[in-house]
Chains A and B, each alone.
Chain A
């Protein structure tokens, strides 16, 4: 899993003065990046214990639970970012995969389910496998088509999953499944650690998983697969001509995104302990999309930030919670107009690779502004 060959070369002193924070960060060797990240990660882990006064969501919402919510959104946003941000495929039914993951966990651990039961932690990989299968089934036929058809098909898919959860008898509709399993473990008094009210434990679990997924997705991005995704996102026809197997790589992005959605669904089911058909409507899907677009699609740190904003604001300002769909709907329109790259835009990786090559040859950086996937095409045309 080493990606040393793709990693940017160590910083060039001649230009470091002009470099932006991001360029400077990207030019650091990986061990140094990790070293700098350690305090940040420690702080993230410590958050529910610190419960900082201004940041806290109490008394409105239990702070560790709000943090769990944010971490769950971050995981979802990272998964959706692979589909929307990396490969440029608009998936409006992401909640469908999330729902399937939840139902996998519920069906295999809840006492209300008549299926055979397995330990909760086993449902996490299983949920990923099952959602990958559904991603394949949905993506297989539709990814061959124009990109905008995918949007409406996925939108329909999200709604159909919810409808099937209502109609199909064994999925129990609104009655749902009580007592979904949780990871094992007891504290010193013998009480289970992972209870529905103990947000801290769940938060730590999800943060750990999120960091692992970030690491994996980051490696994928820097690999051949990631470059193929960016090529498809920037110009599918050109990518095809250059020999990128576009359909296969699009399917990969779709399936990997689906798997992460399923994983987060299973985690959500475990924390809430209850799964029914009420939590998987399409507005939730659009909220996920808002997290990705708001933070900056194609930028991992950006989408995590976006996920935090989208989940934190309704928890922190409870009076706004009822209007969250309105707020984020309007936010999407305004963002597309004034800052289509989101809070933290993705830099055009392809250009970045080109720039490195240029720098190696010429010895000075090319003057190209960092830009986003949502802007690139337009700049070209305009």
Chain B
């Protein structure tokens, strides 16, 4: 009993004491507080974080819109996303992409990538709509309580995940390299690569298009109306069921696009449970920005991407990203549960 006398010392320091003096002398190697590295990599972390954040934001859109309309956490959205990643993998494999960057003209490359994105959007959108049809609509018909919806959502998530597992096995698919990232800008030693630029710009454009769609078109108005008050919207002639299908479809399409960018950034990203953690982070991003709020999802995604990267550098291990993202989620829920920009899809009116 070497530490029996340590009555009032907090548990964690007792553990450290018991670990012996070497740990205390040099600090444990699994966690650091590396301010020098943090400052040194600040800008590259920020840029890389924004790239990841753009992907989170695209996935977060699916969570936030479904939540805005149905008040449902669609746990299976992470699987809608990973199905898109598989679609990207198979399309690009069929087009001759592999583990090394292909020798293609820019136009041909863009054509191939756009094709892969369209296929992924189609597949993810279909899966999302199918999911709504098969799993959620019967529950809505029965007026099931929310707990039943949540259990169905988690069941659907696992059913899809392990259907992929049964089909493709536990290992990730071979890497698909789309193009070699070339430096485009060099601002005072901070390098922005073509890959980062493509992901960030394309994701932002997609989000702006979605935002405009929801805010300016007739269908978008119907969507906001249902989010605001389903019963009144129905009375005013909005087809609620169609709006719900549309919501799932848009979420799925954006998840399919996100899958392409994700595969661009993480070439061997197609794995049966690869969407799971990303899904939790995307949901955290949606909550951070204010769930049900489309612009909030963008802001939350970018912030979460950046914060995660800072945390990983500061604590000296990439695996801390997920821990940091989770802590951010809990902290936001404690301090400002409505998120930064506030909730509600229906609030913005035209």
Q: Are A116 and B29 in contact (CB under 8 A)?
A: no
- Bits for A20-47, please: 1 = Cβ < 8 Å to B, else 0: 0000000000000000000000000000
A336 touches B (CB below 8 Å): yes
> In the complex, are the beta carbons of A170 and B15 less than 8 A apart?
yes
Q: How many residues of A contact B (CB 8 A)?
A: 56
Beyond the given pairs A151-B150, A155-B75, 17 more chain A to chain B contacts, judged by CB atoms under 8 angstroms and listed by A's residue number, are: A147-B147, A152-B287, A160-B326, A163-B322, A167-B31, A170-B19, A170-B28, A322-B166, A325-B161, A326-B163, A332-B151, A332-B154, A336-B139, A337-B138, A337-B139, A374-B148, A374-B151
The closest CB in chain A to the CB of B325 belongs to A156
**Chain A residues with Cβ under 8 A from B147's Cβ?**
84, 88, 90, 147, 373-374
- Docked complex: B129-176 residues within 8 A CB-CB of A: 134-135, 138-139, 142-152, 154-163, 165-166
The interface bits of chain A over 358-382 (1 if a CB of B lies within 8 angstroms of the residue's CB, else 0) are 0000000000000001111111011
**Residues from 245 to 279 in B contacting A, C-beta threshold 8 Å:** 276-277
- Interface pairs (21), CB distance under 8 Å: A114-B19, A142-B333, A147-B146, A148-B73, A149-B333, A149-B337, A152-B284, A153-B330, A155-B75, A156-B326, A159-B280, A163-B323, A169-B28, A289-B151, A325-B162, A328-B158, A329-B157, A332-B158, A333-B135, A336-B155, A376-B145
Contact assessment for A333 and B326 in the assembled complex, using a CB-CB cutoff below 8 Å? no
Return the CB mask of A305-336 against B: 1 if under 8 Å, else 0. Answer: 00000000000000000110110111111001
Residue of A nearest to B318 (CB): A167
The answer on a CB contact under 8 Å between A333 and B322 is: no
A-B pairs, 8 with minimum CB distance: A332-B155, A329-B158, A329-B159, A326-B162, A377-B145, A169-B30, A382-B143, A378-B143
Does A92 reach chain B (CB closer than 8 Å)?
yes
CB of A294, distance to nearest CB on chain B (Å): 10
Residues A323 and B154 in contact, CB atoms below 8 Å apart? no
Contacts of A142 in B (CB 8 A): 330, 333
* Residue numbers in A under 8 Å from B156 (CB-CB): 329, 333
Residues of B within 8 A of A290 (CB): 155
Interfacial residues, chain A to chain B (CB-CB below 8 A) = 84, 88, 90, 92, 114-116, 141-142, 145, 147-149, 151-153, 155-157, 159-160, 163-164, 166-170, 282-283, 286, 289-290, 293, 322-323, 325-326, 328-333, 336-337, 340, 373-379, 381-382
Secondary structure call for the B interface: helix
- In contact, B284 and A326 (Cβ under 8 angstroms): no
Closest to B28 in A: A169
Flag if B158 contacts A340 (CB, 8 Å).
no
Among B144, B162, B276, the residue within 8 A (CB) of A378 is B144
Measured between alpha carbons, how far is A149 from B291 in the docked complex, in Å? 11
Report B31-42 CB contacts with A as 1/0, cut-off 8 Å: 100000000000
Tell me if B317 counts as interface (CB < 8 A to partner A): yes
Residues of chain A within 8 A of B323, CB atoms compared: 160, 163-164, 167
Contact present for A145 and B280 (CB under 8 Å) = no
Q: Flag whether B201 is at the interface (Cβ < 8 A).
A: no
Given contacts A152-B73, A378-B145, are A293 and B163 in contact (CB under 8 A)? no
Whole-angstrom CA separation of A92 from B276 in the bound complex: 13
* Selected contact of B333 from candidates A116, A153, A160, A381, CB within 8 Å: A153
A382 to B139, CA, bound (A): 12
Contacting pair B146 A374 (CB below 8 A): no
| B152→A336 contact, CB < 8 A | yes
By a CB distance below 8 angstroms, the chain A residues around B151 are: 90, 289, 293, 332, 336, 374
Given known A-B contacts A147-B146, A332-B154, A337-B139, A152 and B283 have beta carbons under 8 A apart:
yes
Contact of A286 among B143, B144, B158, B166 (CB under 8 A): B158
Task: Assess whether B159 is in contact with A157, with CB atoms less than 8 Å apart.
Answer: no
In the bound complex, do residue A152 and residue B146 qualify as a contact, i.e. CB atoms below 8 Å apart? no
Asked if A282 contacts B155 (CB within 8 A), the reply is no
A114 x B139 contact (CB < 8 A): no
A376 / chain B contacts, CB cutoff of 8 Å: 145
B81 interfacial by beta-carbon distance below 8 Å: no
